[in-house]
Structure 1
Amino acid sequence: MVETRQNFEERLTTLGRKHAALGNGYTTTLRGDGLIVLKPKRRLGRGFPIRGLLALVTGFFVFKGLMLASLGDITYNERVAKLQQGGHLEQFSSHLMQIDPVTQFAAGFLEPFVD
């Protein structure tokens, strides 16, 4: 009787793991004998969200390009120079906001749409 209960608990645990794996999505395949089998989809990038980081960096460069296109080179550089005069956080942000090739490209692309 005890062995039957342990076997039942093991089967429940296995089914629970399979059910949890299917929670992320699954694909169905038809075997040769006509049985439909569900296979869980793999979770890519389980660790750090690479797409989110890429979207954040892209958005930052688009923002910089939009600011450069709307203010112009001279005004933009004056504002970055004002940031350079401030505290540690402002100095760090001034290094991030300096004009680079990606920002110039984004500004050139966005300039016809500004104003």
Structure 2
Amino acid sequence: MAYLTEANFDSRSKRIIKNAKIAKRGRIHTITEDGLIISRPRLVRRELPLMGLMRIALALWVFKALAILNLGVGDYQARVETLAGGNSVDQAAAFLLNGDALTLAVVDLVQRGMNILQAMELAAIF
């Protein structure tokens, strides 16, 4: 029977736990030319979730456009200016929520479309 010390046991235990964590991610099986099946752990890519970040940015942009539509451009800009006078978090929020040219153009386009729809509804009633 092999003589095991506590250090040997700890190192073996850590190695087994590490291999189990790696195996949870999955394994890739390949067959060599002589028919031997080799199992390797699947490598994990550490990369930014680009699509998730883009979805969050789009959702925030849509929120900003809806806020401008709801409040009106003048009232929205006044509220952003009051945010700009606050602490550093408020100033960062004011920088992000400031009405840029693209957002204001989209808001103007949506408002024109809403006005046309309202005019069509009024014409249909009479």
Instruction: Give me the TM-score of the superposition, normalised by structure 1.
Output: 0.55
CA distance in 2, matches of 1:30, 1:103: 55
The aligned length equals: 106
Q: Structure 2 counterpart of 1:57, which letter?
A: A
CA distance in 1, matches of 2:32, 2:14: 25
The answer on whether the counterparts of 1:61 and 1:102 sit within 8 Å (CA) in structure 2 is: no
Equivalent residues in 2 for 1:48-87 (5 A)?
50-51=48-49, 54=53, 55-85=55-85, 87=86
- 3-state DSSP of counterpart to 1:29: strand
CA distance 1:63–1:27, change in 2 (3 Å)? farther
- 3-state DSSP of counterpart to 1:93: helix
- 3-state DSSP of counterpart to 1:39: strand
> Unaligned regions of 5+ residues in structure 1, if any?
none
The answer on whether the counterparts of 1:70 and 1:111 sit within 8 Å (CA) in structure 2 is: no
Query: Bigger relative contact order, structure 1 or 2, given CA contacts below 8 A and separation 6+?
Result: 1
Report the alpha carbon displacement of residue 34 of structure 1 after superposing the two structures with TM. 2.7
Instruction: Give me the TM-score of the superposition, normalised by structure 2.
Output: 0.52
Equivalent residues in 2 for 1:4-23 (5 A)?
16-23=17-24
Report the alpha carbon displacement of residue 98 of structure 1 after superposing the two structures with TM. 0.3
Equivalent in the alignment of 2:119: none
CA distance in 1, matches of 2:69, 2:102: 13
Report the alpha carbon displacement of residue 101 of structure 1 after superposing the two structures with TM. 4.5
CA distance 1:40–1:62, change in 2 (3 Å)? farther
CA distance 1:66–1:91, change in 2 (3 Å)? same
Equivalent residues in 2 for 1:75-114 (5 A)?
75-85=75-85, 87-88=86-87, 89-101=89-101, 103-104=103-104, 107=106, 111=110
CA distance in 1, matches of 2:68, 2:97: 10
- 3-state DSSP of counterpart to 2:24: helix
CA distance in 2, matches of 1:81, 1:72: 14
Report the alpha carbon displacement of residue 2 of structure 1 after superposing the two structures with TM. 4.1
The answer on whether the counterparts of 1:64 and 1:97 sit within 8 Å (CA) in structure 2 is: yes
